[in-house]
A and B are shown apart, each in its own frame.
Chain A
């Protein structure tokens, strides 16, 4: 069984500052890991994913995440926050069949001008 924990339901950063959104997972099998972004009143959009290979994955809009097996983590970062990054961010884990897909509870990112 898989599960995801996102630490911090609300994160505020200043424009231009580092964005760090935390995600820890639990999985009995090698997981696939994902980050999604949800803008107000919209559906979810895939930011990036880790399946196999390089543990540092780059996504859209300058975001990246690093899979750390020893820490069971998949934290999302962006070097410099932009006002347009304000949104809800969801970490997700799936097994390799894709039939079991579980989301974290989400982190709301506020960017302060």
Chain B
């Protein structure tokens, strides 16, 4: 069974659209994250949720809204997509201080 699963794996959409990326972990971890990896491979944390509560919200446009219905899920909704949102988005989870599990990533292309 996949520990951290993200869907979809690829997402191609037009500017201005709204899209969501789903993430689920079956590890019983308390903390989940969203990261954005740009074309230069730089990984930047976007959000961190601990037991359904927002812990970190880095400088991210408010077009990005995370939703955690329960501690096993952390979804990312993006409104009014822009060209600069094109990137690979990774979900991750941890118990304590070590992020041991990342999802395989969602490659978002905004046209």
Contacts and interface: CB of A to CB of B under 8 A. Distances in A.
A98 B42 contact: no
Interface residues on A, range: 20 to 34
Interface string B24-39: 0000000101010000
The dominant DSSP class at the B interface is: strand
B48 A99 contact: yes
A74 to B, nearest CB: 14
A34 B98 contact: yes
B111 interface: no
Interface residues of B, number: 26
Contacts, number: 63
Nearest to B33: A101
A32 B48 CA distance: 17
Interface in A37-61: 38, 41-46, 49, 51
Interface of A: 32, 34, 36, 38, 41-46, 49, 51, 88, 90, 92, 94, 96-103, 105-106, 108
